[in-house]
Structure 1
Amino acid sequence: MHVTLHRRTFASTVLLALVTAVAGAPPAAVAATTHPGASYRAASAADVRVDVDARAGLATVGSTALGVNHAIWDSQLGTPAVSGLLKDAGVQMVRYPGGSYADIYHWKDHTAPGGYVAPGTDFDTFMAGAQRTGASPMIIANYGTGTAQEAADWVRYANVTKSYDAKYWTIGNENYGNGHYGAAWEADDHTDKSPKEYAATVVAYAKAMKAVDPGIKVGAVLTMPGNWPDGIVAAGDDGTWNQEVLTRAGAAIDFVDVHWYPGGTDAAQALGRTAHIQDAIYQLRRQISQYAGDDAGRIGISLTETNVDIGRNTQPGALFLADAYSGLLAQGVFTVQWWNVHNGPDKAGTVAGQPDYNDFGLLSSGTCTADKAACEPPLNTPFAPYHALSLMGDFARTGDRFVGTGSDNALVSAHAVRRDNGDLAVLLINKDPDGAHTVGLHYNGFTPGTATPVVETFANGAGGVTTAPAGSATAQTLPPYSIALVTLHPDRVATAAPPAPAQPTATVTDRTATISFPSAGAGLKYEVYRQNGGISEQLGETSGTSLPVNNLAPGQRYTINVLARDGAGRVSPPSPPLTFTTGTPAGSTCTVRFRDTNDWGNGYVGSVEITNNGAAPVNGWTLAFTWPTGWQSVSSGWNATWQQSGRTVRVTSDTGLPAGSSTTVGFVGSYSGPNVLPETFTLNGTVCTTA
């Protein structure tokens, strides 16, 4: 992974240095009106079920949601042609000066010692392009070879001298790649390359920069849970990179910045890894809450680089972009940014029947591979992911609210937003390269009108997004490897519905939770729903401002929304979501301490200490637990017999456990995604206290 990251940010500069003139005029905006999916007749019965639940409110789309990266080695940075294409796609945030170059870049003299800087890519040129795009800047201050004073001077120039109102500033790029964990691709002149030093320097940068403009937001670099070096504690450190940075710099920052390259040996595996998103963001928020100190909830999350390893210019890249952007934004990430606008070809091949140049760019660089075996289309020709980004611009608009969805087929992803005007937009992604699928759509908390919906489609090999009425509100047929955006009007426009309740809170035990929320007005009843894919489960209702909920499972994660209903039966939009995890019994006859004692990034040594708190001995025992995800497993174990079936693990021993005594068993675990540790354990069927 780290070699790929290095190649992505440095090796392509030779190719990009050749892009010195426009090889062809940028293509006109696609304005096709035919709908390729219209040629597929809907099957008499749907083979995929998708549920959409307007009661299950997720995150609201912000004004910086859709982003891309610009780089100072790209000679087309900030040109009117590129700005126009990005504006047409709905881009809201652009990042500068470009990946690892940020840690060698000096803005005052526009130099990057050791790297190539294209003419006409200085900061003012970048800002002019951002303004033409209508996008906010995300600026990376140089941590690796810069100083806090240099960063503060940049803030002064941007926001005092030039009045650019540049709000978001990240300190460095992938600074955990400075050699501290073994791999070194990120420049770092600090003698101490530990997360401890990075955190201390972030605090100094934030202080100097905010002394110039207190209104800016400063971000610190973290690693995405489930991605290297997540979980690793290096020699001399007290914790992982994320733990050290958050503990020491949490009070000084406003957001954290992560990157995510899902990898995968083939397109299907890469596309399947969007299933990691919810657990990864959940794990990241838990780390922020645990380590960043008081008021950690104010710290936002940006994801400023993502892409795929297979099909970067073809349909797998497009499908991944639509699925990943939607999943991350639904979980409250405030900006998601593709790497990048132009990058240059690496090697030519065919993916899903289409030419692919292994180029990280959204737009063609108009150059050839190093061996001249293949040349890209004319400069600025959009690749497939650009069209997916354009579709995202139509789907996830500022102010839209993501709502819960569920699909019974892993090859078909679904996302949905509710608009302020009452419309519901549903994004359907068919990740099957060979088969069309007819999707049966089912709704909760929303009744669609009877008119044929307008559908925007991007199909494999298409030159752009097409728009036409197609299918119905309850059935849509998706061509192979396609994305469809279905916009539905309600059967009637709601009038004078109650306002959405404000953010709820919860007080939890092992089996109960008391949900509390501010009043949304007089004479209202409140309904509390637990999210469950596209079909929420109602936990209860009350005319007060709190609701006790019983019969919950210990150690279980719950996400709930509160809705208000007035005397006329009109229902409000959902409250912001609340996610909580129930505890374990405080006075159980057993206690379990589960620890990750030595992690190497995709596996670890685990230790499980079991204590008999009872008055009687336990003569032979079985400890059972369930992995939170399907990508975690036990490779081997000792001091007991270890068995795994599905996600359930059983550890058995004939050895007695006297009253008041403890025993420790161990195992080697592996994971290929966020390593969310289990919360609940049973000993001979009794739920234990988890310590």
Structure 2
Amino acid sequence: MPVLVRRHLSTAPWRRRLAAMASATALGAALLAGGATAGAATAAATGTAGSPDPAASSPVDVTVNADEGFGTIPGTAYGLNSAVWDDQMNVPQVQDLLQAANVGMLRYPGGSYGDMYHWQDNSAPGGYVAPGTDFDAFMGTVKKIGAQPMLIANYGSGTPQEAADWVKYANVTKGYGDKYWEVGNEVYGNGHYGSGWEIDDHADTSPTAYANSVAQYASAMKAVDPSVKVGAVLTLPGNWPDGVMAAGESADWNHTVIPLIAGHADFVIVHWYPGGSDAATMLGEPTQLTGELAQLKDQLDQAGAGALPIALTEVNSDVDEDTQPDALFGADTYLTALESGVFTVDWWDTHNGPQAISTAPDGATDFDDYGILSSGTCVGDVCEPALNTPFPTYYAIKMLSELGRPGDQLVGAGTTSALVSAHAVHRADGSLSVLLINKDPSNSQHVALHYAGFTPDPASASVALYRDEADSIDTSTTGDPNSATLPPYSVTTLTLRAAAGSASALSAPGAPKVTAAGSTTATVSWTPSAGGTADRYEVYRSDGTTSELLATSTGTSATVANLTPGTTSTWNVLARDAAGRLSRPSDPVTVRTGTPADSTCRVSYRLTGGWGNGFNADVNVTNTGPVPITGWTLAFTFPSGADESVTGFWNAELSQSGRTVVATPVDWNATLAANGGNSADFGFTGANSGAYPPPTVFTLNGTVCTTT
């Protein structure tokens, strides 16, 4: 595993982190192929949304599905880290820049410093605290820019009482109303799994001890202010130390912590540094985040904690941090995470300082500085721009508000090319915004836009464009809502008005809930739309950029039959008015079907260990039917959206085609006795890039089994 180091602006101690390796994606090959196309210089100089691109052979299709809703953008969505070793964190120039970028959440006191910071005297023994960075000064910045704080209660060297006293000072004495509090930072980095960068003075450094302490912290803090929300530290599936177990343990960090914090924590925290080896790999990694967050939600759901919101309180790419590739990665990552239901994404960080000099694919100098603003310092004779000069990642965050603001609705969007990412927002004023990212460093990309659930006004649309390494965001208009040309390495947002009379006056139905679910049926219910009388309600299942109609109802519930056992899908409910127009979609609801309880076979699947890019699993097969089976075939399919493959196996013979795996017995376990008289056990080693969710449907000689 690569080691990531960070430090503060001057003489700070090194800050170490382990990050999981991510395998290269098809994007790398696509970038290499695209880099050979001629005409890049002309496109870079003249490319604007809607202009022709003579170098393009065929357009990239972009489909926006406004009938597929991911929920509204929360006020905390666009977040950023602030650190007490940063003497610029509260100066007026920085405050003005953060306010201009519409930063809605600021995290304090900064990463691993959270586990050694004492708020009463603004100290961090063993670290450096800059003047003017105390809690009240930080809250002055929070209030000035109109943000909310995410505060790290000191777990590593603090106590529940110290955290409770901080809550009392903040919300009772000062009346700040600070809502979100984390218990510790990367607590799993306390040496329990062999790698230690996080302070933890507890005699017991296990995940069990941490989870039990979360309950103590929450109790003490809520005794002072019952309105505070307390967060617990987890790790993303496919990222170290997910799957790792210390000696004598039978479960990894998440599977130990989650059941113990249920009923005590109000949200969970994860960090994401995917650790790609180059810009091409990095730019393909945001697609992994969807699967990793989905797997985390499954873990929460299985432990009875499925209602806990998720906060992504640190994220950065580890590659080309001060140049355009990281800006593109950042915009893509923020929106991907928000579409997956995360309530805040907090970039690491405001200032960080240079570490090493390299050159990005577009020729720009990279300083290995994780900040969005320059520290104005040097590595040898190579110096950063003047203090507080925005890096491209700053403009990436600023471009997010060109797409959508808090209260606007995230909706579906997708493209036919790995070189172009798309995200869309249905704004509260009825307009639609589409953000398009061109990941090609050398060539423009021409796109053709298609819309479902929204009819654009054919008149002009507004355009915001952030070009490669630019020091500002350009704005213009275009008369063509159906096409755009994206300059190399750019972020473009088009905002379109709705055609007159095309939108329904009905509001979105209230958030649906699953009231019953079996192996092939599920029932959802919702509260009615406002703004008029609905002719009927329609339940849709998301399928890429399309929505499949599952059921209609004149009431506020519907039961859907003929579902596939053992599947997870996302549904929206829309209201249709008398004129046939659909409302906006409801918030999404996740629907899970089980496997038949009365099957004649039973399979258990258990992960026994992982290491970021690989895992081990055990499978147990039992014949619960009345007839013995001699010679069996067990088939299962890895879930879509994940990159999993079998690399080794034992006690069975396994073969894989696509995502489907077939297991057949060896000579000593080929017979399965009737009525559960015996079982066959086998295992395999898998490789993964990102998420590795377990298969949910197993068939024994063609029969769908009960799965545990």
**Residue 426 in structure 1 maps to residue 423 in structure 2:** no
* Partner-residue secondary structure (3-state), 2:434: strand
2:581 maps to which of 570, 587, 590: 570
User: Which has the higher mean CA deviation after the structures are superposed, 633-642 or 167-176?
Assistant: 633-642
Q: Which amino acid aligns with 1:551?
A: N
**% of aligned pairs identical?**
51
1:397 maps to which of 401, 405, 412: 405
2:160 maps to which of 145, 148, 154: 148
Query: What residue in structure 2 maps to residue 621 of structure 1?
Result: 632
Distance, in Å, in 2 between the alignment partners of 1:233 and 1:459 is 46
Gap change, CA 1:478 and 1:614, over 3 Å in 2: same
Query: What residue in structure 1 maps to residue 540 of structure 2?
Result: 529
CA contact (8 A) 1:612 1:657 kept: no
CA contact (8 A) 2:449 2:481 kept: yes
* Partner-residue secondary structure (3-state), 1:252: coil
**Matches of residues 228-239 of structure 1 in structure 2 within 5 Å?**
228-239=240-251
1:451 maps to which of 440, 445, 459: 459
CA contact (8 A) 2:243 2:608 kept: no
Moved over 6 A (4+): none
> Alpha-carbon deviations, 1:137-178, whole Å to 9, x = none?
111111111111211121122122222221111111100100
1:500 maps to which of 490, 504, 508: 508
**TM-score after normalising by structure 1:** 0.92
**Residue 515 in structure 1 maps to residue 515 in structure 2:** no
Query: What residue in structure 1 maps to residue 444 of structure 2?
Result: 436
**TM-score after normalising by structure 2:** 0.90
**Residue 302 in structure 1 maps to residue 331 in structure 2:** no
Gap change, CA 1:581 and 1:46, over 3 Å in 2: farther
Gap change, CA 1:501 and 1:143, over 3 Å in 2: same
Query: What residue in structure 1 maps to residue 370 of structure 2?
Result: 360
Q: Which amino acid aligns with 1:512?
A: T
Cα drift, residue 519 of structure 1: 3.7
1:60 maps to which of 50, 72, 95: 72
* Partner-residue secondary structure (3-state), 2:169: helix
Query: What residue in structure 2 maps to residue 30 of structure 1?
Result: none
Query: What residue in structure 2 maps to residue 3 of structure 1?
Result: 3
Query: What residue in structure 2 maps to residue 607 of structure 1?
Result: 618
User: Which has the higher mean CA deviation after the structures are superposed, 334-343 or 457-466?
Assistant: 457-466
2:295 maps to which of 283, 298, 310: 283
Cα drift, residue 630 of structure 1: 4.0
**Matches of residues 108-507 of structure 1 in structure 2 within 5 Å?**
108-292=120-304, 296-297=306-307, 299-351=308-360, 352-369=362-379, 372-470=380-478, 472-492=480-500, 497-506=505-514, 507=516
Distance, in Å, in 1 between the alignment partners of 2:663 and 2:304 is 35
Distance, in Å, in 1 between the alignment partners of 2:406 and 2:590 is 23
The alignment's C-alpha RMSD in Å is 2.2
CA contact (8 A) 1:587 1:689 kept: yes
CA contact (8 A) 1:593 1:609 kept: yes
User: Which has the higher mean CA deviation after the structures are superposed, 600-609 or 663-672?
Assistant: 600-609
Distance, in Å, in 2 between the alignment partners of 1:382 and 1:57 is 33
Distance, in Å, in 2 between the alignment partners of 1:584 and 1:535 is 26
Cα drift, residue 495 of structure 1: 6.7
Distance, in Å, in 2 between the alignment partners of 1:569 and 1:54 is 16
Q: Which amino acid aligns with 2:94?
A: V
* Partner-residue secondary structure (3-state), 1:310: coil
Query: What residue in structure 1 maps to residue 17 of structure 2?
Result: none
> Alpha-carbon deviations, 1:613-635, whole Å to 9, x = none?
33334343322222114421111
> Alpha-carbon deviations, 1:69-124, whole Å to 9, x = none?
11111110111000000111110111111100111111111111111111111111
Q: Which amino acid aligns with 1:354?
A: A
CA contact (8 A) 2:622 2:679 kept: yes
* Partner-residue secondary structure (3-state), 1:379: coil
Cα drift, residue 45 of structure 1: 7.3
Q: Which amino acid aligns with 2:175?
A: S
Cα drift, residue 3 of structure 1: 3.3
CA contact (8 A) 1:60 1:332 kept: no
Cα drift, residue 423 of structure 1: 0.5
* Partner-residue secondary structure (3-state), 2:387: coil
Distance, in Å, in 2 between the alignment partners of 1:164 and 1:374 is 42
**Residue 675 in structure 1 maps to residue 689 in structure 2:** no
Gap change, CA 1:496 and 1:489, over 3 Å in 2: closer
CA contact (8 A) 1:318 1:384 kept: yes
> Alpha-carbon deviations, 1:285-314, whole Å to 9, x = none?
222233255xx52x2211110001111111
**Residue 664 in structure 1 maps to residue 681 in structure 2:** yes
Gaps of 5+ in 2: 15-44
Cα drift, residue 361 of structure 1: 0.4
Distance, in Å, in 2 between the alignment partners of 1:286 and 1:496 is 35
* Partner-residue secondary structure (3-state), 1:14: coil
> Alpha-carbon deviations, 1:534-589, whole Å to 9, x = none?
21111121223332323322222211111111223232211111112222222223
Distance, in Å, in 1 between the alignment partners of 2:9 and 2:199 is 17
**Residue 106 in structure 1 maps to residue 118 in structure 2:** yes
Q: Which amino acid aligns with 2:224?
A: V
Cα drift, residue 437 of structure 1: 1.5
CA contact (8 A) 2:507 2:529 kept: yes
CA contact (8 A) 1:59 1:331 kept: no
Distance, in Å, in 1 between the alignment partners of 2:629 and 2:551 is 40
Distance, in Å, in 2 between the alignment partners of 1:536 and 1:252 is 37
Distance, in Å, in 2 between the alignment partners of 1:196 and 1:548 is 41
Distance, in Å, in 2 between the alignment partners of 1:653 and 1:495 is 59
Aligned length: 667
CA contact (8 A) 1:225 1:675 kept: yes
Distance, in Å, in 2 between the alignment partners of 1:123 and 1:72 is 9
Cα drift, residue 366 of structure 1: 0.2
Distance, in Å, in 2 between the alignment partners of 1:16 and 1:382 is 25
Q: Which amino acid aligns with 2:3?
A: V
